[in-house]
Amino acid sequence: MNYLPSADRYEKLNWRRAGTTGLVLPEFAFGLWQKFGDRTPYQTQRDIVLAAVDAGIVHFDNANRYGPPHRSAEKNFGRILREDLGAWREELVLTTKAGNPIGPSPYHRGGSRKNLLQSLDHSLRDLGTDYVDVFYFHRPDPTVPLEETVGALATAVQSGKALYVGISNFYDRAEAHRAAVLLRETGVPLAVHQSRYSIFDRRLETDELLEQSAEDGVGLVTYSPLAQGLLTDKYLDGVPDGARALDSDFLSSDDITEQYRQRARALNELAAQRGQSLAQLALQWVLRRPEVTSALIGASSVEQLRHNLRAPGFAPLTEEELAIIDRHGVHGTGLRNA
């Protein structure tokens, strides 16, 4: 049976402009970082992606590194695009990234022109599309001049293989600003900066990157708003069977400390008083900032996706509630490299 998206999908989410560019995005983006490699049944992936489209999400975030194995998330999404969503390609915002290591070769990592542009070509083949809407440099590379990296990003746009460009994980305010300035000089503005941001990860606040992005006219796409599941009720009483903390490279059972549980329980109590889940509270907290264009979420089921998308429907957070969140949402709680 051929897929037909929901006719009212554009009425279901709020939309925000990415900085000062012409790009507008729904307040939620869907990320294929985890659960979209070859370990997850294809039909499960397809069901979640199509449910996301029906819910109003048009923004799908990928990278050459996503899987496992590397590049499999792009290939799997490319199949969904080919078999189900191809007729609506112009209504989708597809993004990908390069720069993080994907192999032993020096040409499979870093910010060199060779790595970035050849990776983009490979991503386009795997996705089965002529262009991506946003091409990101995945993380800073101090071994390559930023001018070279920026030049490669500009070439991606000038060649028609990307419509916009972005950076990711630039937590040095001066370096993020420099990237924006260098891109502006090429005539290709920096549209978006993808960074981690959550109640337990406050670097965008403490390093004044929220303000810097606004000054540079750059939209923020924030990932891990649920802190790898720490800002859900999953770990309040320990580590359940099958939890991500048992087999993830980014979260360990050692991170589920008593201090974490005390803080998460206090936040969960506040959420319950507001009639929402801890996950919904955490998402609403991220979206409260006008500098944030989209909150990047994932899901392992359609039900989980729909639950999280209800987050903006609750009453705005009060100053008193924000103070409670600040008291218990201590930066670095349960997180590595925060």
Q: What is the pLDDT along the chain (338 residues), one digit of tens a residue?
A: 589 999 999 999 999 999 999 999 999 999 999 899 999 999 999 999 999 999 999 999 999 999 999 999 999 999 999 999 999 999 999 999 999 999 999 999 999 999 999 999 999 999 999 999 999 999 999 999 999 999 999 999 999 999 999 999 999 999 999 999 999 999 999 999 999 999 999 999 999 999 999 999 999 999 999 999 999 999 998 777 666 654 566 677 888 899 999 999 999 999 999 999 999 999 999 999 999 999 999 999 999 999 999 999 999 999 999 999 999 999 999 887 66
What is the rounded distance in angstroms from the CA atom of residue 338 to the CA atom of residue 256?
Answer: 15
CB 209 within 8 A of CB 176: yes
C-alpha 175/C-alpha 142 separation (Å) is 11
Cα gap 26→48, rounded to integer Å:
17
- By residue count, the chain amounts to 338
* Per-residue b or e along 108-121, where b marks 16 or more CB atoms closer than 10 Å to that residue's CB: bbbbbeebbbebbe
Q: Give the β-pairing of 162-168 and 132-137.
A: parallel
Contact 57, 26 (CB under 8 A): yes
> What 3 state SS string does the chain have?
CCCCCCCCHHHCCCEEECCCCCCEEECEEEECCCCCCCCCCHHHHHHHHHHHHHCCCCEEECCCCCCCCCCHHHHHHHHHHHHHHHHHHHHCEEEEEECCCCCCCHHHCCCCHHHHHHHHHHHHHHHCCCCEEEEEECCCCCCCCHHHHHHHHHHHHHCCCEEEEEEECCCCHHHHHHHHHHHHHHCCCEEEEEEECECCECHHHHCCHHHHHHHHCCEEEEECCCHHHCCCCCCCCCCCCCCHHHCCCCCCHHHCCHHHHHHHHHHHHHHHHCCCCHHHHHHHHHHCCCCEEEEEECCCCHHHHHHHHCHHHCCCCCHHHHHHHHHHCCCCCCCCCC
Q: What are phi and psi of 329, to 5 degrees?
A: -90, 70
Please, are residues 192 and 219 in contact by the beta-carbon 8 Å criterion?
A: yes
What residue ranges define each of the domains in the chain, with the CATH number in brackets? 9-229+283-317 (3.20.20.100)
pTM of the model: 0.95
Give the pLDDT confidence score for residue 176 in this predicted structure: 98
Q: How many CB atoms lie within 10 A of CB 70?
A: 17
Q: d(Cα 109, Cα 99) in Å, to the nearest integer? A: 5
Through-space distance between the first and last CA atoms of the chain, rounded to whole angstroms: 46
Distance, CA of 255 to chain centre: 22
pLDDT for 244: 61
pLDDT of the residue at 334? 87
Measured CA distances, 221 to 100, 203, 216, 218, 273 (Å): 18, 14, 15, 10, 29
pLDDT value, residue 250: 64
- Cis check for the bond before 69: say yes or no (omega within 30 of 0): yes
pLDDT reported for residue 242 = 60
Pairing of strands 132-137, 93-98: parallel
Distance CA(163)–CA(322), nearest Å, equals 37
